[in-house]
Structure 1
């Protein structure tokens, strides 16, 4: 797999234990404007107990379609539609 992200493979990202354990798919990706942090989330509630930190490479290996979001600008969000496409929106 050709690495397209500007961030290193070892960059830490926020996700959920449901995603890591393959109990829920990644359906929302955010690229935070304030600190550049990536979040790869499912549709469930995000609490401190369910949150997890993994490497960017680890999360991409779970869903290679995420590689298409390599250029998601800071302050933007992407949502995965039922057809598998990612739709991008700027957070206001």
Structure 2
């Protein structure tokens, strides 16, 4: 799949360490309204200590299906039940 984001591949984004380590799939994505930051999280509960800063291209390599929602606007979020389910809008 081709990199689908309008943001540059070297844009900083947040991913939880569970996703980065390959332990859990991405099940929640937010595109923050305040700063435009992307967050890619799993279904675990998270604290600030769980966050890792990576490039958007790295997040895309972890799970190319995030490209399906690369156009969500600032202030919105999507979620899915597991790594194979479809994305749906949710409160951010």
Same fold (TM over 0.5): yes
The equivalent residue for 2:57 is 57
User: Normalising by the residue count of structure 2, what TM-score does the alignment of the two structures yield?
Assistant: 0.89
Task: Return structure 1 stretches of 4+ with deviation > 4 angstroms.
Answer: none
Aligned to 2:28: 28
Task: Assess, with a 3 A threshold, how the Cα gap between structure 1 residues 90 and 51 changes in structure 2: closer, same or farther.
Answer: closer
Q: Which runs of 5+ in 2 are unaligned?
A: none
Deviation of 1:90 (Å):
5.4
Q: Report the Cα distance in structure 2 between the residues aligned to 1:10 and 1:25, rounded to whole angstroms.
A: 22
Equivalent residues, number:
91
RMSD: 1.5
Unpaired runs of 5+ residues, structure 1, are none
Q: Is the 8 A contact 1:14 1:51 kept in 2?
A: yes
Structure 1 length normalisation: TM-score?
Answer: 0.89
